[in-house]
Structure 1
Amino acid sequence: MDRLPNEMRLLIATNLNQQSLMALSRTSKSNHDLLRSKLEGYKLMKALLDGKDGLSLSLTRQPFIDLSVRHKDLSLLHVAVAQGNQNIAEWLISKYPPFLGAQDDTGITALMSAVCWGEMDIVKSLVDKGTCVNIRNHHGRTALHFAAEDGNDPMVKFLLKKGTNPFLADKDGWSALLLAVREDHISVVAQLVRPGSGIKEANISGENALHLGVSNGNMDIVRLLLRNGAESQADKDGNTPLHRAARQNNRDIIRLLVLSGADLTVENSQKETPLQLISQYHQDHMEDLLGSISS
């Protein structure tokens, strides 16, 4: 039996367990071409990881190269995307269609990675080649979740145009809208919020978009949500957005919620009403506050 070349043994050893390596070391010469292609694949992986664009490009000219190799469960496309190497990314997509749906050990696809890195050109290329925009990672998030959480307005617009489902929630009940509100990305919220567009949906804590907007004290987002049909629902502790506003020093939001129909007398699980909380936290100017509401 012929031995593998030292270069091949060392590089493959970093990606295979010892048992597999011993088996490969004893392989016949007839299988060396197959293993050489794997070596070229690992060479390309290393060049991408090292940011050597020139070397990466030259390696794509090899007649035999195994594109299925992985590094710490990352595909070549994942690494090319993370490095922002659009040329290699597009070459990989054209040569190996399975890349389009490939996921790492957390379920992250190349599309999600490109969205997170803000690589719009790569995102467009992936989608144009057929990547499903609604694939979820293991936590239930789609590419839109990441774009919304980052406040990437153009990315959100593109994904919505390409048919991504804005109503999908992750395993904790977080939709793209809830994430955008939580992070105060009003321009993204404006794209995602429409009457009947999941505006009343809540996460596993019972928080809807209005709860989150009030908690952040973001008057513009609260006004936008109310204008599009948001209601003062209760969270799992019975707290409405008005309960939350009453605990904060934001009279404008309290006034806006009440004028929009929020109930001052509804009780939470602690038997507290918003009116009682206003009295407790805003005693010094309660009369002015209630007067401004009634006027």
Structure 2
Amino acid sequence: MEEKQKILRAANRGEVEVLREIQDRCRLDWNQCIYDKTGDSALHVASRAGYPLVLKYLHEEGGMSLEQANFDGKRPLHDAAQFSQFKCVEYLISQGVEIDPMKRADWTPLMLACTKQDDAIVKFLAEHGASPRLRNKDGWNSFHLACREGNTSIVSYLLNQDPTLLESRSKNGRTPLHTAALHGHFEIVKLLTERSEKDTQDMKDTCGTTALMDAIRAGHVSIARYLVDTKVSSFECRDGLGRTPIHLAAQAGCIPSIDFLLDECHMEVNSPASDLSRPLHLAAREGHAIAVQHLLEREADDSLKDSHGRTALMVAKDYDQLSCVQLLEKTRPNDSV
């Protein structure tokens, strides 16, 4: 047990001579020297820490397989890519390791590299055959992940390698444009819309949500304005529950989005969803007292009822949103549950 810890510690520090001394003295089976909880071997540790000489020693002199997986199916190449250790990635690939191994959660090294900001590793993996089209268990591919992280250089590179990545959709119908809009990456949104066909831009996911709706509920007004101004998305669109962007802005309690939709898109503050819920109902349901106050100041009608016959005050009471109840009772003291 003590020797195992020394080996793993030496791998983490890049101490090849310490590893050689331990091996000469003990003649251990390197493959059995792993962390009990994770199954990480000295190869995994060295790959994360960035010591290609340790990888070289363990593989070429210690006889360890560079494809050794931990308990999650993660291999040294996964760790090297995830921790942006280019020299380790370079050595592992030079030794012919599998370029697209899937760990248990179905993530490839390229996917992990795309969650970082290291262009060189992404390009190196792709140039050696890594596929950006492979999908994880949720249907996300490397391009989705790059769009989520917002690295314009990586997104542009992948798109230049394979323009059909624009058509990527996750299992719940999410496109790269949804992802970029939700996470507030304006330059990525602009790039994706400029490179795609008009009829593919305003796609809805399985919940009926568009990229504009994602931008609105996350408060990314500059992206929302761009999508509307360029006619990529319509502010009159409805999701699967019949809600428009103004409903989603209220539900998120996002005042900048509410004001953008009212002032620049001229949406109706009392617009009904399919169940007759108004923005005020949704803000009250979620307990967004500041948004409730703001909507009232913007002339939201608190007397309107949803399809269940409830005013916004009744909804607030049903969902135990005390701050909203107190606020709305000032205007409608006679409403009851």
TM-score normalized by the length of structure 1: 0.73
RMSD of aligned alpha carbons? 3.1
What SS does the aligned partner of 2:124 have?
Answer: helix
Asked if 2 retains the 8 angstrom alpha-carbon contact of 1:246 and 1:254, the reply is: no
Q: Distance in 1 between matches of 2:151 and 2:136?
A: 19
**1:231 Cα deviation (Å)?**
1.6
After TM superposition, the structure 1 = structure 2 runs for residues 38-53 of structure 1, keeping only pairs within 5 Å, are 44-45=7-8, 47-48=10-11, 52-53=15-16
Q: Distance in 2 between matches of 1:252 and 1:51?
A: 46
**1:46 Cα deviation (Å)?**
5.2
Q: Which amino acid aligns with 1:233?
A: M
Q: Which moved further from structure 2: 61-70 or 172-181?
A: 61-70
| Corresponding residue number in structure 2 for 1:168 | 134
Asked if 2 retains the 8 angstrom alpha-carbon contact of 1:115 and 1:155, the reply is: yes
After TM superposition, the structure 1 = structure 2 runs for residues 114-133 of structure 1, keeping only pairs within 5 Å, are 114-133=80-99
Q: Percent identity?
A: 24
| Corresponding residue number in structure 2 for 1:224 | 191
Q: Which moved further from structure 2: 177-186 or 201-210?
A: 201-210
Q: Which amino acid aligns with 1:235?
A: D
Matched, 1:271 2:250: no
Q: Which moved further from structure 2: 74-83 or 49-58?
A: 49-58
Q: Which amino acid aligns with 1:108?
A: K
| Corresponding residue number in structure 1 for 2:31 | 68
2:47 aligns with one of 67, 81, 90: 81
Q: Distance in 2 between matches of 1:238 and 1:272?
A: 9
| Corresponding residue number in structure 2 for 1:90 | 56
| Corresponding residue number in structure 1 for 2:272 | none
**1:179 Cα deviation (Å)?**
1.3
Matched, 1:233 2:203: yes
- The CA deviation string for residues 74-100 of structure 1, in whole angstroms up to 9 with x for no partner, is 223122323433222112222466622
Q: Which amino acid aligns with 2:242?
A: K
Q: Which runs of 5+ in 1 are unaligned?
A: 1-10, 15-38, 288-295
Q: Which amino acid aligns with 2:166?
A: I
Q: Distance in 2 between matches of 1:245 and 1:77?
A: 42
- The CA deviation string for residues 38-80 of structure 1, in whole angstroms up to 9 with x for no partner, is x7x7763454357654312434556944232232222231223
Q: Distance in 2 between matches of 1:268 and 1:111?
A: 41
Asked if 2 retains the 8 angstrom alpha-carbon contact of 1:217 and 1:253, the reply is: no
**1:185 Cα deviation (Å)?**
1.8
Q: Distance in 2 between matches of 1:223 and 1:107?
A: 37
Q: Distance in 2 between matches of 1:244 and 1:83?
A: 37
Runs ≥4 in structure 1, deviation > 6 angstroms?
275-279
* Cα distance, 1:276–1:138 mapped onto 2, change above 3 Å: closer
- The CA deviation string for residues 124-153 of structure 1, in whole angstroms up to 9 with x for no partner, is 110010111100100000001111001211
Q: Which runs of 5+ in 2 are unaligned?
A: 250-256, 267-337
Asked if 1 retains the 8 angstrom alpha-carbon contact of 2:133 and 2:165, the reply is: yes
Q: Distance in 2 between matches of 1:252 and 1:45?
A: 47
* Cα distance, 1:260–1:129 mapped onto 2, change above 3 Å: farther
Matched, 1:212 2:190: no
